[in-house]
Amino acid sequence: MQQTTACPAVGIIGTGAIAGYYGLMLARAGVPVRFLARSDHAELAAQGLHLSSSALGELHQPVDLCSDMGGLAGCQWILVATKTTANAEVAGLLAQLPDPAVNVVLLQNGFAVEDELRPLLPPAMRLFAGLCFICYVVSVVCPGDPFGCIQRYFFQYFLFFGFRPYLILV
């Protein structure tokens, strides 16, 4: 008999390009994903996430949203894809999780950001640094295009995470 295991639920704080891309791809792969969305909640609820990619085509994904940290209860992994300038607020949000024994992956610009955030978090919370990359080409398209005057084609991406992920490109 084949045994199946459920994917752990993933909560995402942030709804910009990085959070949207990786959230969309995780959801398409069958991972339960829930976004904490505050300012753009209504728009995301109505439209979901859209990706226009030369490699993947046109993708649309409805999203599971919440407007407060209680909505991320049950998520074993939390991806933080916000600006580092908001980390004091992010620490306050993470402290509101019903179960602090979660895995938090920072997908932020900067080096050793986790060292600054660690002292602000509950001791049971496991914090990982993330290194992600999305490369896209922006090209002007004709008027009347349903996506407006600019079309973005994502064509290369990767994500690494760990206690200290380092990548050397040669």
Note the residue count of the chain. Answer: 170
Say how far apart CA 161 and CA 140 lie, in whole Å. Answer: 34
> Whole-model pTM above 0.75?
yes
pLDDT number for residue 45: 87
pLDDT per residue, tens digit, the chain (170 aa), is 454 567 899 999 988 888 888 898 899 999 999 999 877 788 888 888 888 777 777 888 898 999 999 999 999 999 999 988 889 999 999 999 988 899 999 988 877 888 889 999 999 999 988 877 666 555 555 555 555 544 454 455 555 555 544 444 43
- Which domains, from first to last, does the chain contain? 10-162 (3.40.50.720)
Number of neighbouring beta carbons within 10 Å of residue 134? 16
Judge whether 15 and 39 are in contact, CB under 8 Å: no
Judge whether 138 and 147 are in contact, CB under 8 Å: no
pLDDT number for residue 162: 56
